[in-house]
Amino acid sequence: MATDASVSDARDQLDLVLSFFSRVDAKLSTVLAINTGMLGALGAMVPPIQTASWPMAIAPVLTVILLGFSYIFLYRGGFPVTKGGYASLIYFKNIAERNEASFITAYTNLNTDELRSDLLAQVWRNSEILSAKFNCLRSAFVAMALGVLPWMVSLCVFALHKK
């Protein structure tokens, strides 16, 4: 039989996992801001189409493709798959599927073992979601970092072209 201490430990573990979400989300927002700034600077420097040549388009197109991949990973990290937590009385999606009265009744009737198990299931599921978000963040960052060199080349070529 679970004790109050084991339930408290499970809650602490869930709180620890949940505390990392804001850190990953802040980094996702930072990469989003950098991507948008890079695209804005690139767009501001684009010369008139009639004066540009096809070789001038290679670096900016590569930049846009890489930043496009970064945006895709940012989206996936911002909106990860949240399936799971079946019949959970802790997981927000499962709670929202119930009406208020049935949630209150079911939660009130939980015994300590069931509560601990539900908490630990949420630790596991949230860890899966967090891991997916982190992987998306890493991929978005790598795509952005790879886009920096062609972005810089594009800005230099565009600046030289305007002279």
| Domain residue spans of the chain | 4-162
DSSP-assigned states of every residue in 110-157: --HHHHHHHHHHHHHHHHHHHHHHHHHHHHHHHHHHHHHHHHHHHHHH
Confidence class of residue 53 from pLDDT cuts 50, 70 and 90? confident
**Which one, of 136, 161, 115, 148, lies nearest residue 3 by Cα?**
115
Average pLDDT, the chain: 93
Confidence class of residue 155 from pLDDT cuts 50, 70 and 90? very high
Which pLDDT tens digit goes with each residue over 82-117?
A: 887 788 999 988 999 999 999 999 999 999 999 999
